[in-house]
């Protein structure tokens, strides 16, 4: 059935064998041939919505930032791409957070995306790399394990976020997210995700697609769509063959046509801008208070803060923290006086 269809594959070159051989990965940034892009399109009869993303650079950056082992790269990469597909083209400022809380080697996996194409995340065990599956592919299901998938949708104007939770079905990420969309959001959809690595364990291609059935979709359209999805190659195969997101969209909607002028966003990892990140960090540190900050610096010789999601590290001096706290207190006093006078 279309509602549960999910292609979720990560290729592994045969050079690594089928055993638990040591895997040495070089964490270097490799420029992809083309920029990442996410495209949203409609079928000609407006009965099917299709989102296709090429997120090769994005997943490569995540691998480098977190120094991920091959299977951890695939697990976090699929989660980032899944969150991106589920979070894009929603209400402005809406955010989606997906968490795989499994008992596998990877531990919990977190991905957070907004409607503008920003996505970031982390995996508790970046070194997770269980033995390959019997077919020679990365065993993402074993790395994730059994447990619970939680999806939280939030918006600044909503009083409470919406939270949905479902059991982890396979741990292969795409199948679990597709199952969530059906069971918790009653969305008739299909989802495919993939991360392909080269001989040096670097990300060769990474992408995904999300197909959503719109109201009043005909049986003829459903039949054509199911035939297309069950016969087409994996997302990484298509990307490795040089297909663009437009080409892949046309392949998914073969026989149904694609309306022109689809919407695009340029996905990126983050946001990790230095100034914004340092402001968030100093607010968190200042909450400790001047004395505790002084004690930490006295014991450790420095106060260093690392963002779990970006892996950016910054050092703060006692003077920086004191100045922030004093300035914040003065601002609060002014705001209080203004409120009283009003």
Which residue segments constitute the domains of the chain, with CATH numbers given? 2-17+29-269 (3.55.30.10), 274-328 (3.90.1280.10)
pTM of the model: 0.81
- 3-class secondary structure for 88-103? CCCCCCCEEEEEEEEC
Confidence of residue 340 (pLDDT cuts 50, 70, 90): very low
Instruction: Summarize pLDDT for 60-93 with one digit per residue, the tens.
Output: 999 999 999 999 999 999 999 999 999 988 878 8
pLDDT at site 33: 57
Q: Which residue has the higher pLDDT, 298 or 97?
A: 97
Q: Does residue 173 come out as left (phi exceeding 0), alpha (psi in the -120 to 50 range) or beta? A: left
Share of the chain above pLDDT 70, in %: 85
Closest listed residue to residue 203, CA positions, set 242, 239, 249, 245? 239
Instruction: Summarize pLDDT for 110-127 with one digit per residue, the tens.
Output: 999 999 999 999 999 999
Mean pLDDT of the chain: 84
Q: Is the dihedral of CA 83, 5, 57, 201 positive or negative?
A: positive
Asked whether the beta carbons of 209 and 50 are under 8 A apart, the reply is yes
pLDDT average, residue stretch 313-320: 78
Cα–Cα distance for residue pair 45/207, rounded to 1 Å? 26
Residue 216 in this model has a pLDDT that exceeds 80: yes
* H or E stretch at 240: helix 235-240
54: helix, strand or coil:
strand
Phi/psi for 249 (5° steps) reads -60, -45
Residue 5 in this model has a pLDDT that exceeds 70: no
Q: Is the dihedral of CA 120, 81, 150, 11 positive or negative?
A: negative
Instruction: Summarize pLDDT for 31-62 with one digit per residue, the tens.
Output: 445 899 999 999 999 999 999 999 999 999 99
Cα 8 to Cα 74, 209, 266, 288, 329: the distances in Å are: 10, 10, 23, 44, 51
Which region among 135-139, 167-171, 321-325 has the lowest average model confidence (pLDDT)?
Answer: 321-325
pLDDT at site 2: 55
Q: Which residues contact 223 (CB under 8 A, 6 or more apart)?
A: none
Confidence of residue 16 (pLDDT cuts 50, 70, 90): very low
């Amino acid at each position: 059935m279309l509602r549960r269809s999910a292609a979720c594959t990560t290729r592994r070159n045969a050079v690594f064998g089928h055993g638990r051989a040591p895997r040495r990965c070089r964490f270097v940034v490799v420029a992809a041939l083309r920029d990442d892009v996410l495209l949203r399109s409609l079928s000609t009869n407006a009965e099917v919505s299709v989102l296709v993303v090429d997120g090769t650079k994005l997943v490569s950056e995540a691998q480098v930032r977190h120094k991920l082992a091959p299977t951890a790269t695939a697990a976090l990469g699929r989660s980032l791409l899944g969150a991106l597909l589920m979070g894009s083209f929603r209400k402005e400022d809406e955010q989606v957070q997906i968490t795989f809380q499994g008992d596998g080697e990877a531990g919990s996996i977190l991905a957070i995306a907004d409607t503008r194409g920003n996505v970031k995340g982390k995996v508790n065990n970046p070194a997770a790399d269980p033995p390959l599956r019997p077919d020679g592919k990365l065993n993402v299901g074993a790395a994730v394990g059994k447990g619970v998938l939680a999806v939280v949708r939030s918006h600044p104007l909503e009083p409470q976020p919406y939270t949905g939770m479902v059991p982890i079905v396979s741990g292969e990420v795409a199948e679990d997210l597709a199952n969530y969309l059906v069971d918790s959001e009653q969305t008739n959809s299909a989802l495919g995700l993939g991360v392909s690595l080269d001989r040096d364990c670097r990300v060769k291609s990474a992408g995904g697609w999300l197909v959503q059935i719109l109201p009043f979709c005909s049986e003829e359209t459903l039949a054509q769509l199911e035939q297309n999805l069950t016969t087409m190659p994996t997302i990484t195969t298509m990307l490795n063959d040089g297909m663009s997101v437009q080409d892949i969209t046309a392949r998914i909607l073969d026989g149904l046509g694609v309306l022109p002028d689809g919407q695009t966003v340029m996905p990126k990892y983050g946001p990790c801008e230095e100034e914004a990140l340092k402001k968030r960090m100093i607010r968190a540190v200042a909450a400790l208070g001047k004395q505790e900050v002084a004690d930490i610096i006295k014991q450790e010789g420095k106060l260093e803060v690392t963002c779990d999601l970006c892996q950016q590290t910054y050092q703060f001096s006692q003077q920086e923290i004191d100045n922030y706290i004093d300035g914040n207190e003065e601002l609060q006093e002014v705001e209080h006086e203004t409120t009283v006078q009003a």
